[in-house]
């Protein structure tokens, strides 16, 4: 079978290569053999490729990516949840089923199996049924970015109709959070560095927008002009947290997710003035993935795909996802 791989010691996604003579994996007891049909790229995949993810520098040749969706080709002995032909996706953490965070093996991180192959074996516990209303490309957008957005909006303070949700930038997590929040009846405030992308987020339902480049002090603007955010999907990190705290409505919650913006962290005592809270997010568990897929079916959400590349063009897909033209999810499809 074919798979895209990163070599041991990889220091960037330019080291990706297509291996075309790998042995077909065989499912053992409790395992599922999947033929992925589509994949999506997440920001963390660049950290994996450059040896800066949690496992550090890759110790062995590695099949990357956590996010893939496809068809079940075979199941091992004892598998009860899946059968041949089922449409499935991987779960980011294959053995975190429910409850509070359990740091375990993550797909495509150099320790767990990666999805960017024509055939993948996963433990039954690390597979979810796709949302019925999605095609493979759309379903491939959800395992990391979608579940993270879901966790941000429902894993702590549950988002209710009428709440105000602030999403930062127009990347994968933020656009999915926008779509989920709108379906939940929330009012969405979106930021971007690009006025053109802000037009696109308005078309997707954003109620208010701010350009964070031309308005670097966007936090007080969100607070004063739009009434403050009850939920912040904080994908920036230390470089944006101060503005997110300034944007917070009384009692609001910041879901601490990303590392896109570097900077000195703000004084956390600012949260005392709003009774605000900060909650760390590490993607989410299998139960959240299932809940998200049910919600997607219920509300007819179609994950936004900025651009799609062929499997053979995976290196170009990575370059696009890293570049200024990327919007929402970048997908690779057979």
Please report whether residue 209 would count as binding ligand NAP according to CB under 6 A: no
DSSP H helices in the chain: 43-49, 136-139, 147-154, 172-183, 195-203, 218-226, 241-247, 270-274, 286-299, 314-322
Q: Give the integer Cα–Cα distance in Å for 236 and 170.
A: 12
Only segment of 1-9, 99-107, 236-244, 309-317 that touches ligand NAP (CB under 6 A) = 236-244
Number of residues near ligand NAP (by CB under 6 A) = 32
Beta-carbon count within 10 A of 65 CB: 30
Find residue 278's DSSP bridge partners.
Answer: 254
Helix (H, G, I), strand (E, B) or coil at 5: strand
Only segment of 96-104, 128-136, 167-175, 288-296 that touches ligand NAP (CB under 6 A) = 167-175
Residue with smaller CB distance to ligand NAP, 6 or 32: 6
Task: Give residue number: closest CB to ligand NAP.
Answer: 171
Q: How far is CA 6 from the centre of its chain?
A: 21
Residue with smaller CB distance to ligand NAP, 159 or 244: 244
Residue 69 sits at the vertex; the CA angle it makes with 293 and 146, to the nearest 5 degrees, is 40
Binding mask 36-65 for ligand NAP (x = CB under 6 A): ------xxx---------------------
Residue with smaller CB distance to ligand NAP, 33 or 142: 142
Q: At what angle do helices 172-183 and 286-299 cross, to 10 degrees?
A: 60
**One of 171, 219, 228, 242 touching ligand NAP (CB under 6 A):** 171
Residues engaged in binding ligand NAP (CB under 6 A): 42-44, 144-145, 148, 168-174, 191-194, 197, 212, 235-236, 239-240, 257-261, 281-283, 326
């Amino acid at each position: 079978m074919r798979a895209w791989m990163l070599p041991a010691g990889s220091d960037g996604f330019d080291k990706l290569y297509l291996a075309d003579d790998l042995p077909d994996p065989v499912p053992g007891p409790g395992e599922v053999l999947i033929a992925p049909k589509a994949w999506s790229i997440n920001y963390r995949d660049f950290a994996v490729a450059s040896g800066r993810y949690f496992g550090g520098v890759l110790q062995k040749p590695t099949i990357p990516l956590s996010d893939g969706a496809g068809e079940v080709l075979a199941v091992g002995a004892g598998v009860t949840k899946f059968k041949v032909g089922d449409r499935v996706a991987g779960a980011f953490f294959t053995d975190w089923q429910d409850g509070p965070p359990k740091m375990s093996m993550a797909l495509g991180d150099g320790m767990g199996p990666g999805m960017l192959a024509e055939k993948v074996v996963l433990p039954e516990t690390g597979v979810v049924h796709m949302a019925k209303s999605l095609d493979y490309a759309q379903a491939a957008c959800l395992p990391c970015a979608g579940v993270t957005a879901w966790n941000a909006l429902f894993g702590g303070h549950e988002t209710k109709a009428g709440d105000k949700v602030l999403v930062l930038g127009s990347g994968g997590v933020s656009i999915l959070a926008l779509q989920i929040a709108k379906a939940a009846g929330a009012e969405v405030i979106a930021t971007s560095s690009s006025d053109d992308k802000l037009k696109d987020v308005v078309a997707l339902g954003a109620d208010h927008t701010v350009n964070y480049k031309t308005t670097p002090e966007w936090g007080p603007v969100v607070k004063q002009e739009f009434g403050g955010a009850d939920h912040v999907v904080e994908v920036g990190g230390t470089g944006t947290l101060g503005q997110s705290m300034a944007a917070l409505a009384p009692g609001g919650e910041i879901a601490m997710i990303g590392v896109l913006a570097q900077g000195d962290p703000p004084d956390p005592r600012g949260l005392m003035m709003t009774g605000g809270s900060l909650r760390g997010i590490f993607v989410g568990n299998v139960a959240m993935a299932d809940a998200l897929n049910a919600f997607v079916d219920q509300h007819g959400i179609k994950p936004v795909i900025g651009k799609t590349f062929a499997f053979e063009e995976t290196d170009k897909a990575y370059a696009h996802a890293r570049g200024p033209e990327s919007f929402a999810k970048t997908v690779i499809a057979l």
